[in-house]
Amino acid sequence: MIKKKEKEKRVAMKYFPMLLFCSSLLLIIESSTAIDTINTTQLVREGDAIVSAGGTYELGFFSPGKSKNRYLGIWYSKISVQTAVWVANRETPLNDSSGVILRLTNQGILVLLNRSGSLIWSSNISRPAMNPVAQLLDSGNLVVKEEGDDNLENSLWQSFEHPSDTFMPDMKQGRNRITGMDWYMTSWKSPDDPSRGNITYILVPYGYPEILVMEDSRVKYRSGPWNGMRFSGTPHLKPNPVYTFGFVFNDKEIFYRYHLLNRSKLWRVVASQNGDISNFVWVDKTQSWLLYGTANTDNCERYSLCGANGICSISNSPVCDCLNGFVPKIKKDWDAMDWSSGCVRKIPLNCSGDEFRKLSGAKLPETKTSWFNKSMDLEECKSTCLKNCSCTAYSNLDIRDGGSGCLLWFGDLIDSRIFIENEQDIYIRMAASEQGMNLSSD
């Protein structure tokens, strides 16, 4: 009996190192198992990752391009080209990520700390948390929420409300009218530097909302206002088999967003350093991103290329002309192909007996100082414009089903252009003495 026990002991001792190795390996495997959620007791360190439930997105530390700096970001998990869609510490890169941690506080705030414990980046919260968790969704949205509450409207914080340079499916581009928070993109400084560049893609709520692409403080491109079907300056935005899109404007929020019909596709809209707003789709066969389209299609997209009361038509040469009833303000400049001075009226308005000339296929002028009413019809819109001597043009707000709503302009008409395929009409005020013209024609 004693010999048998000694034999069993020797066998056990012989295989103990192997058992210890297997146990350690099991612990390593268990600790590296992908998770999509962390709570207040869990940390994310260099080499760790949070992976969305479907495996589409991953959150961790990375170095963009040729940079040696480290950033906390979100990227596509399953493709061969690392492509970041969100960066937390854009303005505060890490020189050394050893000892760096991301943790969730009991208050529901995500904090990124360096090896000495100094705060590098943090989120914020809309209200005190009770039992917070942070989850990376399969939309690419990092959400801080109360455990068990999957309603995004109740979230404490979400990365989708703090975009970097990428506009993702189901992300909102616009403004929360209750809190005043704007959701907008800014370009990276360079492929190696994700800090804020000089290009901003933002929906502005002044007058009637439209999207602007800004270069520093200068408008580079504008979308035109939403007309019920698309933004009036984006005729290429049409129903398609890849995605749907829509615009929401109510008392709580104003936003534009798109939704992928096939969630297995990888699709992103990027604000690049040169000002292009481009759509990309991932192609498995080539293992690369395909440029699907870009918003800046031609020279007429340049903001106010033809100046005040000018109109751009890419099919004409030169592309700039004055609206009917207007002439170049400085003719010698126009003869030299400098249209920036714009146009002025041949005959000033006198407010009494003025008429309107219809311009069809238009990208509507800048709406920064416009006025709108959603319930008026076109005739009421015309009457309202005529009663105000400063009103210079009117149009339907919504072109669907014969048209509805009213949009009025005051003063100069800025950044108009013609699209052959556009269905939008605008009615431009003319002096009564110009009644000899066919004012109802294009």
Structure tokens of 338? 């400098």
Q: Which domain holds residue 222?
A: 163-297
- Asked, for residue 54, whether it belongs to a domain, the answer is yes
pLDDT at residue 32 tops 70: no
Of 137, 160, 183, the residue at which a domain comes to its end is 160
Each residue of 268-314: pLDDT tens digit?
Answer: 999 999 999 999 999 999 999 999 988 877 999 999 999 999 999 99
State the residue for tokens 């967003």.
257
Each residue of 145-156: pLDDT tens digit?
Answer: 999 999 999 999
Q: Is 77 found in the same domain as 150?
A: yes
Q: Is 293 found in the same domain as 167?
A: yes
CB-count burial class (<10 Å; 0-12, 13-18, 19+) for 240: exposed
- Asked, for residue 141, whether it belongs to a domain, the answer is yes
- Asked, for residue 25, whether it belongs to a domain, the answer is no
pLDDT at residue 85 tops 80: yes
pLDDT at residue 10 tops 70: no
Q: Is 217 found in the same domain as 204?
A: yes
Count CB neighbours of 201 within 10 A. 25
Based on the structure, what is the number of domains in the chain?
3
User: Tell me, what's the pLDDT at 215?
Assistant: 96
Of 297, 328, 362, the residue at which a domain comes to its end is 297
pLDDT at residue 31 tops 80: no
Q: Is 308 found in the same domain as 212?
A: no
- Asked, for residue 181, whether it belongs to a domain, the answer is yes
Per the CB < 8 A criterion, the answer to whether 142 and 134 are in contact is yes
pLDDT > 70: what percent of the chain?
Answer: 90
- Asked, for residue 7, whether it belongs to a domain, the answer is no
- Asked, for residue 12, whether it belongs to a domain, the answer is no
Of 297, 332, 350, the residue at which a domain comes to its end is 297
User: Tell me, what's the pLDDT at 59?
Assistant: 97
pLDDT at residue 11 tops 80: no
User: Tell me, what's the pLDDT at 435?
Assistant: 57
Q: Is 102 found in the same domain as 68?
A: yes
Q: Is 308 found in the same domain as 270?
A: no
Each residue of 174-219: pLDDT tens digit?
Answer: 999 999 999 999 999 999 999 999 999 999 988 999 999 999 999 9
Each residue of 358-392: pLDDT tens digit?
Answer: 999 999 999 999 999 999 999 999 999 999 999 99
Each residue of 125-136: pLDDT tens digit?
Answer: 878 899 999 999
Which of 326, 333, 331, 295 minimizes the C-alpha distance to 309? Answer: 326
Q: Is 280 found in the same domain as 353?
A: no
Q: Is 127 found in the same domain as 73?
A: yes
Q: Is 246 found in the same domain as 150?
A: no
Q: Is 84 found in the same domain as 192?
A: no
User: Tell me, what's the pLDDT at 34?
Assistant: 61
Each residue of 35-84: pLDDT tens digit?
Answer: 999 999 999 999 999 999 999 999 999 999 999 999 999 999 999 999 99
Give the lowest-confidence range in 264-268, 379-383, 420-424.
Answer: 420-424
- Asked, for residue 4, whether it belongs to a domain, the answer is no
Q: Is 186 found in the same domain as 168?
A: yes
Q: Where are the beta strands (DSSP E) in 129-217?
A: 132-136, 142-146, 157-158, 166-167, 173-176, 182-183, 185-190, 193-204, 210-215
Q: Is 64 found in the same domain as 153?
A: yes
